[in-house]
Chains A and B, each alone.
Chain A
Amino acid sequence: MRKKLTPLLEWGTLLITTGLVCFFLVVILWDLVSKGASSLSWNFVSSLPTQGMTSGGILPAITGTVLLTMITALVAAPFGVSCAIYLNEYAADNWLTRLIRASIRNLAGVPSIIYGLFGLALFVQGLQMGTSLLSAGLTLGLLSLPYIIITTEEALRRIPASTREAALAVGATQFESIRDVVVPSAMPGMLTGLVLTLSRAAGETAPILFTGVAFYINNPSGYLNQEFMALPYHLYMLSTQHQAIEAVRPLAYGTALVLLIVVFLLNLTAFYIRYKYSKNE
């Protein structure tokens, strides 16, 4: 009897856990869509906010978040990938490397508000960049670095030694072997890590709070040296700080929905790139 019941119990527990996770996901999505869909319109995503945010669109917040994410990628990807390649391919396995690796893992656990304060001290004040798109992008870049390093290193580690040796055996230098064989093989994993990191960065509020985000600007964000609007901050303001919270609630839901769509599109891009790579293998 026990032999029969136990597998059923194990199977059931796992199924219920999975179901529970999916259930919450569906509830959140349903809540957002049902309350936000009505505010979605071409006008909502293509025009500036008007009348103290109670009507009009959220175009500056969309462009702000998109540009911010691009700057984050430009800052974090080259440094993060290079660092991961160094750590995984070149660095000797000694106490120094282990210390560096442990530090990076710890950095990934630092709360994002700390990055915000650090960005304020370093970029906004120290380097005199002011509260601006650039300062915020650099801050988010710093926040993303440890994640990109960790995921890239994981992707590189999955490439077997025999792949590297194949290149060396035909006369490639270590650098050529990494550039031509190892990195292309690891690319799907690296891109997944990169995009997941960026979609997380796109939704961050705390790091940009002190470094450049603004509640309202009257032009589509787009200047590196100026403040900008961003979706997550806009959402935060609409849902907690606005003087007419009840009135702007549909707009807040609409904003949340747009943020979700932006993140979803990013993930879709990653999915597409991975698909293309896997077809070439």
Chain B
Amino acid sequence: MSNDLVKLSAKGVNLWFGNKQVLKNISVDFEPNKVTALIGPSGCGKSTLLRAFNRMHDLSPDARIEGKFMLENQDLYEKGLSVTQLRRRIGMVFQKANPFPKSIYENINYGLKINDIPKAERPGIIENALRESYIWEEVKDELEKPATRLSGGQQQRLCIARTVALRPEVILMDEPCSALDPLSTLKIEELIVKLKKDFTIVIVTHNMQQAQRVADKTVFMYLGEIIEEGQTKDMFANPKNELTANYVKGHFG
């Protein structure tokens, strides 16, 4: 399994919510330091798949999961594995910016605090994370301001900074721009492309232009199955499957 070209993978995954099967026999590999986009029409299971990687379904009692999820050689659903440790290695940015009801500084500091990062190191890490997320210049003079007063785009970059600060290996992004205006979206997309130098990124998106702009690889899902995957360029230029072709041309979605 210790393939250098696979950072994160799922094998033979089936997932049910109650009696409804949402993921059907999913097997997929994500390469390190690449951006992979998960695309597909609403309800195809792409967000569900994404959230399975950092075990966000743990708290939904009606979710039932089969199959294997691996981060390098670590089985993510191994008995006795600390979920909090795992989530430190696999960070997540959500669809709607969800800063904590605390100051800008505390929003990043909180993650460092509960992960026992020494107090003396925190200010440096926080500044660095804000710089990496291209929001430092905008907020450096008002770090004590409540994060909820930032604009939507700034909030989302703060949420990315919060994730980046913990130095995860993988960052999962669940439609991070769906609630943002075009300008903020552009900023976040630039940020994503820059972040792949240090992180492996999996992004769920509804926006096919976005997938083409940011993703090295693209995975197309339909009704809980992976229909096609490949290099983004190839997939959009020469889709092999008819469903993919119809979707990327915008015939349904």
Interface assignment of A280: CB less than 8 Å from any CB of chain B: yes
- Interface-centre pick from B91, B101, B166 (highest chain A CB count, 10 A): B101
0 or 1 for each of B148-178: is its CB under 8 Å from A? (1 = yes): 1000000000010011001000000000000
Which of A93, A160, A171 lies in contact with B166, CB distance below 8 A?
A171
Q: Is the CB of A169 within 8 A of B92?
A: yes
Q: Which residues of A contact B163 (CB under 8 A)?
A: 169-170
Interface assignment of A31: CB less than 8 Å from any CB of chain B: no
Interface assignment of A219: CB less than 8 Å from any CB of chain B: no
Q: Which residues of A contact B136 (CB under 8 A)?
A: none
- Interface-centre pick from A162, A171, A280, A281 (highest chain B CB count, 10 A): A171
CA distance A81 to B146 in the complex (A): 26
Q: Which residue of A lies closest to B148 (CB)?
A: A281
A165 touching B56 in the complex, CB below 8 Å, given contacts A171-B88, A280-B146: yes
CA distance A168 to B88 in the complex (A): 10
CA distance A281 to B99 in the complex (A): 10
Q: Which residue of B lies closest to A186 (CB)?
A: B101
Q: Is the CB of A163 within 8 A of B98?
A: yes
CA distance A240 to B232 in the complex (A): 85
Q: Which residue of B lies closest to A162 (CB)?
A: B98
Q: Is the CB of B56 within 8 A of A176?
A: no
A170 touching B98 in the complex, CB below 8 Å, given contacts A165-B56, A281-B148: no
Q: Is the CB of A185 within 8 A of B114?
A: no
Classify chain B: how many residues form its interface, as a range. Answer: 20 to 34
Q: Nearest chain A CB to B173's CB is how many angstroms away?
A: 11
Question: 8 Å CB contacts to B: which residues of A164-193?
Answer: 164-174, 176, 180-181, 184-185
CA distance A171 to B84 in the complex (A): 4
Q: Nearest chain B CB to A101's CB is how many angstroms away?
A: 17
Q: Is the CB of A166 within 8 A of B61?
A: no
Q: Which residues of B contact A92 (CB under 8 A)?
A: 61
Q: Which residue of A lies closest to B62 (CB)?
A: A93
0 or 1 for each of B84-115: is its CB under 8 Å from A? (1 = yes): 11011001101110111110000000110011
- Interface of chain A, helix or strand or loop or mixed? helix
Q: Nearest chain B CB to A82's CB is how many angstroms away?
A: 19
A281 touching B101 in the complex, CB below 8 Å, given contacts A170-B87, A170-B91, A171-B114: yes
A168 touching B87 in the complex, CB below 8 Å, given contacts A176-B114, A281-B148: yes
Q: Is the CB of B61 within 8 A of A93?
A: yes
Q: Which residue of A lies closest to B100 (CB)?
A: A181
A184 touching B98 in the complex, CB below 8 Å, given contacts A171-B85, A281-B148: no
Q: Is the CB of B101 within 8 A of A172?
A: no
CA distance A184 to B107 in the complex (A): 14
Q: Is the CB of A162 within 8 A of B84?
A: no
A170 touching B99 in the complex, CB below 8 Å, given contacts A162-B94, A281-B148: no
Q: Is the CB of B115 within 8 A of A171?
A: yes
Q: Nearest chain A CB to B95's CB is how many angstroms away?
A: 8
Q: Is the CB of B88 within 8 A of A167?
A: no
Interface assignment of B54: CB less than 8 Å from any CB of chain A: yes
Q: Is the CB of B91 within 8 A of A162?
A: no
Question: 8 Å CB contacts to A: which residues of B56-81?
Answer: 56, 59, 61
Q: Which residue of B lies closest to A164 (CB)?
A: B59
Q: Which residue of B lies closest to A173 (CB)?
A: B84
Q: Which residues of A contact B56 (CB under 8 A)?
A: 165, 168-169
Q: Which residues of B contact A163 (CB under 8 A)?
A: 98, 100-101
Q: Nearest chain A CB to B129's CB is how many angstroms away?
A: 12
Q: Is the CB of B111 within 8 A of A281?
A: no
Question: 8 Å CB contacts to B: which residues of A125-160?
Answer: 160
Q: Is the CB of A185 within 8 A of B101?
A: yes
CA distance A19 to B96 in the complex (A): 42
A172 touching B84 in the complex, CB below 8 Å, given contacts A93-B61, A181-B101: yes
Q: Is the CB of B101 within 8 A of A170?
A: no
Q: Is the CB of B110 within 8 A of A180?
A: yes
A sample of 7 inter-chain contacts (CB < 8 A) reads A162-B94, A165-B98, A166-B94, A168-B59, A170-B87, A180-B100, A185-B101
**Nearest 8 interchain pairs by C-beta:** A170-B111, A169-B92, A166-B98, A162-B98, A171-B88, A171-B84, A185-B101, A171-B87
| A-B contact sample (5 more), CB < 8 A, given A171-B166, A172-B84, A280-B146 | A166-B99, A167-B100, A172-B110, A181-B100, A280-B101
